[in-house]
Amino acid sequence: MMIEALIAVALLGALVTFLAPNRIAGKLAFAISLVPAALSLWLFAAFDGSGNALLDGELAFESRATWIDVGEYSISWFVGLDGISLPLVVLTTILCTLAIVSSWTPIDERESQFYGLILFIEAMLLGVFSALDFFLWFVFWEAVLIPMYLLIGIWGGPRRKYAAIKFFVYTNVASLVMFGAFIALVFGLGDSVTSFALPEIATAMVNGGPEGFFGLGGTTLASVVFVAMFLGFAVKVPIVPFHTWLPDAHVEAPTPASVLLAGVLLKMGTYALLRFNFTMFPDQVATYAVPIAAIAVISVIYGAMLALAQTDLKRIVAYSSVSSMGYVILGLVAYTQFGVGGATFQMVSHGLISGLMFMAVGVIYNATHTRMVTDMSGLADRMPIAVAILVAGAFGYMGLPLMSGFYGEFTIFFGTFGSELLDYSPLFTSLAMFGIVIVAGYLLFALQRTVFGPYRLETDYEVGTAPLHDVASMVVLLGLIIALGVAPDLIFDMITDAVDPILENGGDL
C-alpha cells in the first residue's frame, strides 16, 4: 500500500493547502511535499531489482483491487513499480518539492490555490508513473492537464490564456486519438484479454497480437494502433512537428510550472512511448524504425536551431527541451540495452537539468524583471552564486563529463551506433551528435551576453544576491546532476533490468 500512501498524501495535502490561509500556504505545502519525497526515497532504497512490470510478471510494491466491471472487461485499481517507473517517481517528488520552494519569491497572490495545484499535479503524476491498468492510467494522464492549465492560465504572463488553451487543446486532442486507438486494440485482441490491465494486454500482444477489428486484419490493426498512439504521445513529448504548443506554454507559465512542465510532464510522453509502443509492438518498431529515427534527428537539430535563434532565455531553454527529447526518441528506437536504457536515464537527467535551468532563469527574472538577452549583461558581478549554478547547469546540458547529461547522451549514442534493428544507424548517430555542437553554441552565446562582461540592465531594478531558498533549490538539483554523472549506476542498473525483457520480447529484430 506504499504507492497508495504516496498518492494519498499528495492528494490530501493539496486539499489541506487549498483551505489554508495564504500566508502559510507555501511553507505548509513544502512541509507536506517532504512526506511523498521521503516515501519515494524509501521505495527507492527498498526496491529489490524486479524486472519489467508488463512482461515478466515481477512487480514491486504491487497493489490490485477490482474497481468497475464493463461488460466482459474489468477495470482495476492496479499499481506497481519497476526500474523504469521508480526513478521517474523519485524525480517527480523531488522536483515538486523544489518547485514549491522556488515559488516563494515570485508567487504573491492566491498562494493557497497555487500550492494546492502543485500538490495535486504531483499526485496525478505519481499515478501516471505507477498505474498498470489502462483506464486508471488514463484517468491520471488526463487529470494532469487540469492543474497545469490553471497554473498557466491564472498565474502566467500577458498571453497566459492563449498559451493555456493551446496547451490543453493540443494535448487533449492527442489523448483522444491515443485512447481510441488503444480501445480498438483491446477489442481486436478478443477473448485473449478480459481486463484493461497492461500486463495482460502486453502478454496477449506477445502471444500473437490482435485478431482484427472493424474490418482490419490483425497486422494492419496493430500498425494503425501503433501509429495513432505514437502520434498521440508525440504531442506530449513533444517532437517536431507537434512542438509548437511548448514554447508558448513555457514563456507564459510561472517559473515553478515551467520546472514541472519540462522536468516531468514531458517525460509522460516518452514514458508512455516506452510502456506502450516500444514494449507491446516490437514488429511495428522494426517496420517504422527508420522514419521514427529520422523524426528524432530532425527534432534534435531543428529544436537546437530554433533555440539558437531566440533572445528570450525561457524560449532558449524551452526549445532545447525539444532537442533533448529527440535524443530520447532516438535511443528508444535503437532497441538496444544502451539505447533504451540510455533514453530512460536521459529522461531523469533532462528532468533535473531542465528544472535547474528554468529555476535559474526564474531567479534572474525575479531580480531583473526581464528575460531578454539583449537587455542585460554582467550579472555575474551582482549574482555570483546563482550565475555559477546557471553556468554549471548549461555545461550539464552540453554534456560535460561527470554530469548526468554526458552519461545519458553517451549511452544513447553508443546504443544507437551499434543498433542492428535501425538501418543507417551510424548516420543517424552522427547527425544527432552534431546537435551537441549547436547546443553549445546557443548556450555559450546566451551566457556570454547575459552574465559576463560589464554590468548593464535596461530595467530599473536593483540586482543583488539571490534569496537563500532559491539558491538552495538549485544547489540540490546540481548535486543530483553531478551524483548521477559520477555514479550513474545509482539508477542505470535498475533501468536495464527492466529494459532487458522488452528487448527479449523483440527477439531477433
Q: CB count, 10 Å around CB of 418?
A: 15
Asked if residues 232 and 181 have their Cβ atoms less than 8 Å apart, the reply is: yes
* pLDDT value for 54: 87
**Positions of the chain with pLDDT lower than 50, given as ranges:** 508-509
Q: How does pLDDT run across 279-292, given as a tens digit for each residue?
A: 999 999 999 999 99
Half-sphere exposure in the Cβ direction for 481 (13 Å, CA): 32
Q: How does pLDDT run across 393-402, given as a tens digit for each residue?
A: 999 999 999 9
Angstrom CA distances, 270 to 88, 90, 148, 177, 413, stand at: 11, 17, 18, 17, 17
* pLDDT value for 44: 96
Distance CA 320, CA 323 (A): 5
**105: Cβ contacts below 8 Å, ≥ 6 apart:** 363, 366, 467, 469, 470
Residue 111 cell numbers, joined = 498562494
Distance CA 500, CA 58 (A): 13
Asked if residues 200 and 193 have their Cβ atoms less than 8 Å apart, the reply is: yes
Q: pTM score, two decimals?
A: 0.95
Angstrom CA distances, 189 to 47, 277, 466, stand at: 33, 16, 57
Distance CA 158, CA 261 (A): 19
Distance CA 164, CA 153 (A): 5
* pLDDT value for 508: 45
Query: Of 346, 351, 324, 330, nearest to 436 (Cα)?
Result: 324
* pLDDT value for 220: 87
Task: Kindly tell me the burial class for residue 21, based on how many C-beta atoms sit within 10 Å of its own C-beta (0-12, 13-18, 19 or more).
Answer: exposed
Question: Which amino acid, residue 341?
Answer: G
